[in-house]
Amino acid sequence: MKSKMFFFIVLIIVFFVVGIAAAEQNKAAENMNLDGGRRGAVNFPHKLHQAAISDCNACHSVFPKAAGAIKDLKEKKELKSKQVMNKTCLKCHKARKKAGEKTGPTKCSACHVK
């Protein structure tokens, strides 16, 4: 009886900790404004992407989960200008368009606003 109780308490603690960790991970803003240089800023619907693409690493294998990460890496020359745009954003949008799946924009002015 006692051991069952102990198991139950451990289970509750585990659920609690996992729950907090998941909430921490998801603290990201719903919409973000990315620096698009001279072509104009890019409004990025982060939450929409989290819902559409379950794999965080589709993007976060290229840059960390931090606000301003892309700009920082570009300034440190660890990412080239337009690298994220071409190899992450557009690569996925184009591939999905070709596959006839729900996708995002590929036209300059649909992402960049001045």
Name the DSSP letter for residue 65.
Answer: S
Binding mask 2-21 for ligand HEC (x = CB under 6 A): --------------------
Render 12-47 in DSSP notation, one character per residue: HHHHHHHHHHHHHHT-S-SEEEE--GGG-EEEEEHH
- Does residue number 61 form part of the binding site for ligand HEC (CB under 6 A)? no
Cβ contact 31:41 at 8 Å? no
Q: Which is nearer to ligand HEC, 3 or 57 (CB)?
A: 57
Please name the residue that has the structure tokens 């102990």: 6
Q: Which of residues 29-58 bind ligand HEC (CB under 6 A)?
A: 29, 32, 34, 36-39, 42, 44-46, 48-50, 52-53, 56, 58
Residue 105 CB contacts under 8 Å (≥ 6 apart), including other chains = 93, 111
- Does residue number 76 form part of the binding site for ligand HEC (CB under 6 A)? no
Q: Which residues bind ligand HEC (CB under 6 A)?
A: 25-29, 32, 34, 36-39, 42, 44-46, 48-50, 52-53, 56, 58-60, 65-71, 81-85, 88-90, 92-93, 96, 102-108, 110-112
